Structure 1
Amino acid sequence: MNQLYLFGGSLAAILMLAGMARLLGLGGGGIADEAQAMAEAEAMLSGFEAMRAVVGSDGRAALVHGADGSVALIKQHGSQLAARRLASPAIEPRPEGLLVHSGERRFGSVLVRS
């Protein structure tokens, strides 16, 4: 019987913490739309002037095309967004979307879901 109370108390504590995190806006919401992707690219990459963007259907990644012909790759990294400017992006079409190779080992390849 004590184990049942312990389980119930633990479950209630987990649900309470998850609710508090949601109320505080923790966890990030991803990339909502093209306008947000363009604004994020311009804010994170010095001198980048966004022209248009393609946002993944799951909001976890985006490709932003710049006025100078470069491309910005944005991905969700935990609760934050990370961006890289790609001089010559290597893009592979896949059934689930576009696989973009950043050319940086630490940033990795990013799937922009269709």
Structure 2
Amino acid sequence: MAEKIDIKKLQKKATKALKEASRRLEGAGKDARVLVKRGEDELIKLSKVGRAQLEILALSLKKEQLYRQIGMKVWQLSTGGKLTTKKLKIFCEELSSINKNVKSKKKSINKVLKTR
């Protein structure tokens, strides 16, 4: 008879433990859902920020291209004698010097490549 009482007590303890585990799992599930939601929100934020940064980069590249086009046009007008100012002349002289150096370096590269 003592064994029946022990089995019933054991059964009650097991049932109680299972209910407690179930309650804790439900709580953990709720916590997990909250964390997943926060993670989704963070991913959305990061995605929006990343997209904006890419758009800024694209705009910056576009701006650089426009600067380059403006510079090329100024260079063409300046060397053609259609645009003359003292400040532009200084830049144009510097650009001419750089172009000469580049040309010289290319010649030296070609010489090195031909000697092989």
TM-score bucket (shorter structure): under 0.3
Q: Which has the higher contact order (CA 8 A, sep 6+)?
A: 1
More strand by share: 1
**Structure with higher helix content:** 2
* TM-score (norm. length: structure 1): 0.27
Q: TM-score, normalised by structure 2?
A: 0.27
Greater radius of gyration (CA): 2
